[in-house]
Amino acid sequence: MYALRDTDNPTDRRQHEENQQRFVRRYAEINGQVLPLMKIQRKLPHQTLAQESLWFNVFNQDFLPNYRSADRGAGGTNVGWRPQDAPSAAAWITSAREITFNSDLPQPLNIQLMGKEIDDFYAYNLDGLSPQSSRQRVGDVRLRFVWFPDSGDGG
């Protein structure tokens, strides 16, 4: 319960200051206990062995799909990295095995993986269900790449 107190009264003022100090100490104590638990725990390379067996390539730029093949079928979006907007398209070249970037613009110029949803599908885990009924989007994605800066400051 909160009540307005007369801060001109020395007893009320002292009690108010003591309560405020007690609150600040308790707040710092709770933060000291909770904040270490709120950090993102990074996995060390030697601690991912069990998880690595579950990881699989969703897309590999080194092995581009052959979209000129006659058996591809009509319709659909080609899978691959694509610029998100016109300024990004002017800066990024994503149609070859090597993705290149060239721009002096100060704003971010993004690319995104298009044409394939990233989900948890493995052929062996269906248990009689149709492939589409049990798929869940995946949020835990690892992106690996090699970056060769040719010029600029990288900022």
pLDDT digits (tens, 9 = 90+) for 10-57: 788 888 889 889 999 998 999 888 888 877 777 777 777 777 777 777
Domain definitions of the chain by residue range: 1-39, 58-125
Structure tokens that stand for 62 in this block: 């080194």
Condensed to tens digits (0 to 9), the pLDDT of residues 99-116 reads 889 888 888 999 988 887
Backbone dihedral region for residue 66 (phi beyond 0: left; psi -120 to 50: alpha; all else: beta): beta
Output the six-digit token pair for 50.
């069990």
Distance from C-alpha of 16 to C-alpha of 8, rounded to nearest angstrom? 11
The pTM score is 0.50
